């Protein structure tokens, strides 16, 4: 199959692209800054500006839409404005434009939309609402679709924890439990979803363990050789329940790499040889 990937330069996308190639798919990536990866066809485009979408979708059999614009994820922490607004350009307008181009081409057999577990419990967050709007657009499309969802990725958890650990006072809600996941494993699941011929809402993809946030932080600190006291953040119970919901599903598909293993692996990868 010829597959268009959006977000092919992101954490998920950079593993997704070779995963698709290994299964024999021809891959085209729509990106703001095309790269020179061998065997990949690059199309310059910007989903927030609607640029390159028609060229990118022409002649493809499938689209995996993994691009997103989350300012909080990019900086590794929330600012007050993230609780009031979130950009719609990539996640909503970009999804709409991709679906319209796919409908127009008449050749796209499968639109695989990448989303997040538990969004329905966190509707107060503007980014969450953007992701839900995008899912609605996908469900309303005439192009055959799948929606694949994962819990929070380890890379994002590490980025957020690193930022928090750099602050004077370290506090986390004690009763929020999460099952973060290795995005490399999720990439493999997405390739399976493209290839297995099924369509529609897919199983949630979650990490192998459900751990409370302070436990996750303790493992992070230990792996990075830091010692800190973790205080209890006074977050309302209903907010903690909303953050936890979705992470504890029994039905979900589970990755196998634990947080601890991922932290050890990334610490090893970051160590210069011979050090
Ligand atoms: N991160 C998580 O914890 C998590 C958890 C579950 C599901 N997900 C979902 O998984 C997907 C991938 O997430 P990720 O963590 O891999 O994200 P990421 O690393 O932040 O990558 C985002 C991707 O979107 C691209 N992008 C941003 N703005 C764009 C624009 N205007 N036009 C075209 N492309 C644009 C980026 O390209 P540039 O290289 O040009 O910036 C990059 O390739 C998203 O749908 C996300 O919602 C994420």
Q: Is the CB of 156 under 6 A from ligand 1?
A: yes
pLDDT level of residue 273 (50, 70, 90 thresholds): low
The first and second tokens of residue 180, run together, are 């973060």
Domain 2-270 in this protein, CATH class: alpha beta
User: Given this model, what pLDDT does residue 271 score?
Assistant: 74
Residues 137, 138, 143: CA angle, nearest 5 degrees: 125
SS3 content of the chain, % helix, strand, coil (to 5): 40, 20, 40
Q: Rounded mean pLDDT of 98-105?
A: 98
Out of 158-167, 201-210, 241-250, 253-262, pick the least confident.
Answer: 241-250
Residues 6+ away with beta carbon under 8 Å from 56: 4, 6, 28, 30, 43, 45, 101
Distance 98 CA to ligand 1 centre (A): 15
Q: Is the CB of 68 under 6 A from ligand 1?
A: yes
Q: Alpha helices of 35-153 — where are they, by DSSP H?
A: 53-57, 71-75, 95-105, 126-139
pLDDT tens-digit readout, 173-224: 999 999 999 999 999 999 999 999 899 999 999 999 999 999 999 999 999 9
pLDDT level of residue 93 (50, 70, 90 thresholds): very high
Query: What is the DSSP code string of 162-203?
Result: HHHHTSSS-EE-TT-EE--B-HHHHHHHHHHHHHS---EEEE
Q: Does the pTM of the predicted model rise above 0.85?
A: yes
How does DSSP classify residue 153? B
Distance 65 CA to ligand 1 centre (A): 9
Q: Rounded mean pLDDT of 25-49?
A: 96
User: Given this model, what pLDDT does residue 272 score?
Assistant: 67
Evaluate the CA torsion angle 151, 60, 71, 32 in order and state its sign: positive
List the chain domain ranges. Answer: 2-270
């Amino acid at each position: 199959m010829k597959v268009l990937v959006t977000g092919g330069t992101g954490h998920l996308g950079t593993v997704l692209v070779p995963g698709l190639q290994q299964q024999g798919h021809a891959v085209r990536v729509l990106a703001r800054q095309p790269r020179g990866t061998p065997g990949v066809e690059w199309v310059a485009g910007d989903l927030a500006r609607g640029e390159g979408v028609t060229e990118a979708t022409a002649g493809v059999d499938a689209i995996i839409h993994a691009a997103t614009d989350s300012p909080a994820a990019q900086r590794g922490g929330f600012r007050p404005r993230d609780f009031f607004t979130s950009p719609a350009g990539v996640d909503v307008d970009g999804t709409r434009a991709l679906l319209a181009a796919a409908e127009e081409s008449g050749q796209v057999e499968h639109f695989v939309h990448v989303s997040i577990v538990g969004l329905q419990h966190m509707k107060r967050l503007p980014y969450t609402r953007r992701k839900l709007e995008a899912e609605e657009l996908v469900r309303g499309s005439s192009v055959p679709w799948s929606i694949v969802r994962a819990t929070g990725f380890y890379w994002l958890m590490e980025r957020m924890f690193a930022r928090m650990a750099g602050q004077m006072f370290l506090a986390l809600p004690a009763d929020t439990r999460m099952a973060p996941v290795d995005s490399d494993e999720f990439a493999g699941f997405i390739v399976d979803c493209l290839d297995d011929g099924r369509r529609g809402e897919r199983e949630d993809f979650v990490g192998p363990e459900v751990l409370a946030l302070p436990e996750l932080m303790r493992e992070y600190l230990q792996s990075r050789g830091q010692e800190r006291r973790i205080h209890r953040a006074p977050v309302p119970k209903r907010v903690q329940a909303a953050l936890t919901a979705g992470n504890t599903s029994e039905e979900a598909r589970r990755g196998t790499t634990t947080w601890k293993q991922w932290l050890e692996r990334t610490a090893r990868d970051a160590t210069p040889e011979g050090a």
